[in-house]
Chain A
Amino acid sequence: MSVVASEIFSFLQQRETLSLERHDIASTDFTILRRSLRLIAQNLLDIDDQASTDVLDGIRLLLSEWLTVPVPFETAMVTSLSDFFGDAESVQARWGRDIRTSYEAAIRAAKNLVLIESEMRLALRSFIEDLLNKNVSFKIYCHRRAKVHFETLSRQFEAAAQLDELFVHSLRQYRETKPFDLLIKMGPLRAYGWGSIPDAILTAPRFGTLAQFVWSGSRDDDNFGYDPIIHISDQEHAAEAGINSLIWNRREFRYGQDHELASSSSEVDDLQFFQTRYQAREGRRSATLIQLDNEHGIFYPPHSQILSFDPEAAGDDQIDRRVPDETLQVGMFIIGPTLEDVDLGGVATKFGSHSRVWKERLRSEFHSNADGLVRRLKNSGLNLVHLRSALENWCRPPTSVIHAPQSMRHFEILIQVLGLEQSESEGKSWWQLAWVEIRRSRGEAIQSAFLEKEIVEEQLLISLKILLPEIREKAAAKAGFMLEIPSGSELHGKVALAPVVSIEHGFHVPETELKLVHNLAVADRWRD
């Protein structure tokens, strides 16, 4: 049974002050590793080729996870780095001596780290076991996929977690939690992105003590604990008016060596660095991730109206367009994200047929007069800083993806400049079909159906009303399912309904990746 309001008020009434304990953990090698990778990232940021972007994505993923999840330091750290960069010689050949130096420093530090157990894990283990021995009621706030790294900290804790719900993974769960003694959080306090946690933990606490474990040098977001009422009043007035009356006492505990090194070398917090410099690059849009199962999710722009089914609603209202977190909630079903079998009668391009044509023309033009091509593209509005490197990348033959501009507008310009603009059947121009092909290669063929989203949705609505009794019956199992669209409809094929497992904000996603189903591990690359 969920918590009632009087329990929360009674709990707050009993606490004159609340306690925020920051456990600051330093490690010389880990600091060197972070600093080296950040230096590399700073240099790669200005290079617009696919290889550099891939390396940047990889560095960001590794650092973000290390800073917010108690992962064990294993040889996989070293191999991950080697996989991204290759050997030192090729690093120097590609990006120069400075990056090679930083890379070698990172590898040395990583090798040192795997020799000992992570100081973070040691500190957490000791702290958690102490809580268990003292019978303190506590919970851990972490991402669902970080849970395993906490469970493996200690057998004693793993056993306790079997008996009691010790993890909180979402705002919704937090909202329904009864008051307890202590909350553990690893990583800086941030409202969005990696290691994010709701502002409510400071503005609407359900516990007396927040124990925050951070690698030294990590910084909380400046405005974490945002409260619209306090924010707009000056602090003096807030205190005078007694707004909220929640008082936090802050204490800091330090573990490990070289806190000064960590602080001095982290003038810029790693997570904030990537959030401000990397995620907000051209062509990326703020997005909300709707998680569909343990492995997949789909991105939508904020405030999207998503066609969905609410098992709890009445009658025809069950199918409606809803806004994530406003009217679309966990437990509902989104409709249509996997319309692989819908025959729209339009997009019938075979994988690769268009890309072969434009890539051949691009290669020919690039090799005969690269400077001229760059000039023509820039004059037409394709203004990428490193356009020549980008062109080299786009010349590469298709692998699992078709290397091409990230934005549709840039692609259209490219095709126009290459002189490939010609009409095609069914009212679509040639470049549009080629773009569909690129999207398919990036986000699975099934997603091309979303190019026709609005037409599909209107027709779907009619079909779904007919299917409503069947949808209700199948949705009772609370799992995803597919339904055949009834004959007689203008749509042919199947429609998918997928349950909403969670809704997460704090992503910046390339425009072209919106409304596509992604593996969650891939989705992490766009987390702020």
Chain B
Amino acid sequence: LGRAQGWAILGVRTFVSEGTGDYQPIPGWIDFAIQFGYRWISNDLRKIAVISMPCDTAAAALIALGALIRDLGRAAATNVGNHSEAIERYARQYIEFCSKCTVRCKPEIRLCGYAAEATGFLRYKGAKYRILGSTTCFGEDGLVLSRDGGTWIVFNKRFPEFQIDGEPPSRLSETEPALSAQPYLEILGEARVLPSNLRESYSGLCLAGRSAGKTSTREAYAAIHFGNAETNNDLPRLLTIREWSRPATVSRAVFFNPRTENLESRQSSVSLVIADGDVSFLRILNRREFQRADIIGVFHRTIERNNLELIGNRIAHLRQWYEDDLEVSHEAPKAPRGIGVIILKQKVS
């Protein structure tokens, strides 16, 4: 960051490296991507944006970063309200279906209607407990957990203290360190951050990764670092996707793996999906759980013709029910040369 210190004299606060080790002020295309996500407006009419890039980039992740920063300022962007419900759904799925199922675990083969297996474990203060069943005691509903060779009845009102195994906590305890707002504010100075959101997870924002899977997606993003003389964060860490942030903390975005077609969340409230690549974009358009969510698909034009045509055909197909959203297009940041953007909104019949 030696050169960056020189820039700092000129008032530049944050610098970017694209894996070369050379830091520079945030370039136009990265600024565009972050601003695009940050300024995305969700309303009653579903919207689908398609962004075409002249080369392979991490633009999808950068748009997700912008949207994540936007959500840090939204009071409604939290899982806390839905958390107990999510645990109830998870427990019911395990008790009634997964614990009896003989297929491990291919919901698409079993056609059970679930997107992913419920393994039947909850976590409390880091320790793992198996769900044995449900119960009603003294007029209160609860779950029976296995503990130290015996059983433990946990009533529904205590669910906020528990988390589903493998999922981020819905809210951190007071003793756990919260997310830091600083790196996000250094990237987008005008952003507003609610302190409560730094301690609470949110599953309304989904990043659909590259067709090669989660590990490859992470590697592609890890080249991008934001930093200054004091801090340095790579892009995956800033996205707070589960397993990408160490130490584990709240998660403000969930991951959809187009390779395994697995959505790493049990929340049913995804409102914005950002897809990285043509394959990912086409897959999520077909997914049942995203039919009400806004979608931003990002692809690059250095792909084979037949893959370009698949996108073109799909956009043409979408135009039966969608039209250009000139208003939002006008509000969107101006794209640098080489980037193409279309934004469609649902037609009002």
- Please report A residues at the B interface, Cβ cutoff 8 Å: 1, 3-6, 8-10, 12-13, 15, 171, 174-175, 191-192, 198-200, 203-205, 226-233, 237, 241-246, 302, 313-314, 317, 325-327, 505
Contact = CB atoms under 8 A, between A and B. Distances in A.
B232 interface: no
B305 A229 contact: no
A196 to B, nearest CB: 9
Nearest to A320: B259
Given A232-B315, A243-B340, A246-B337, A175 B55 contact: yes
Given A6-B18, A243-B342, A232 B300 contact: no
A227 B55 contact: no
Given A4-B20, A175-B302, A204-B300, 8 more contacts: A4-B18, A5-B29, A8-B54, A229-B52, A233-B342, A244-B339, A245-B335, A505-B304
B321 to A, nearest CB: 14
Contacts of B213: 313, 317
Contacts of A1: 20
A4 B19 contact: yes
Given A5-B55, A5-B56, A242-B335, A230 B340 contact: yes
A281 B316 CA distance: 29
Nearest to B52: A229
Given A6-B27, A9-B29, A226-B308, A171 B52 contact: no
Contacts of B212: 327
A229 B338 contact: no
Contact of B338 (A192, A204, A317, A505): A204
Nearest to B216: A312
B302 A9 contact: no
B251 interface: no
B30 to A, nearest CB: 8
B312 to A, nearest CB: 4
Interface in B10-59: 18-20, 24, 27-30, 50, 52-58
B302 A204 contact: yes
Interface string B319-349: 1000010000100001111111110000000
Contacts of B53: 5
Contact of B50 (A203, A229, A242): A229
Contact of A199 (B57, B259, B305, B319): B305
Nearest to B311: A228
Nearest to B326: A241
B301 interface: yes
Interface hub of B52, B58, B329 (most chain A Cβ within 10 A) = B52
A401 B120 CA distance: 62
B309 interface: yes
Given A9-B29, A13-B28, A175-B55, A228 B338 contact: no
Contacts of B305: 191-192, 198-199, 226, 505
B279 interface: yes
Contacts of A243: 340-342
Contacts of A174: 302
Interface string B248-279: 00000000000100000000000000000001
B3 to A, nearest CB: 14
B214 to A, nearest CB: 10
B7 to A, nearest CB: 15
Contacts of A15: 337
Nearest to A4: B18
30 contacts: A3-B55, A4-B18, A4-B20, A5-B18, A5-B29, A6-B29, A8-B55, A8-B338, A10-B27, A12-B337, A198-B302, A200-B301, A200-B302, A204-B55, A204-B302, A204-B338, A226-B308, A226-B312, A227-B52, A228-B309, A229-B52, A241-B341, A243-B341, A243-B342, A244-B52, A244-B338, A246-B337, A313-B213, A326-B307, A505-B305
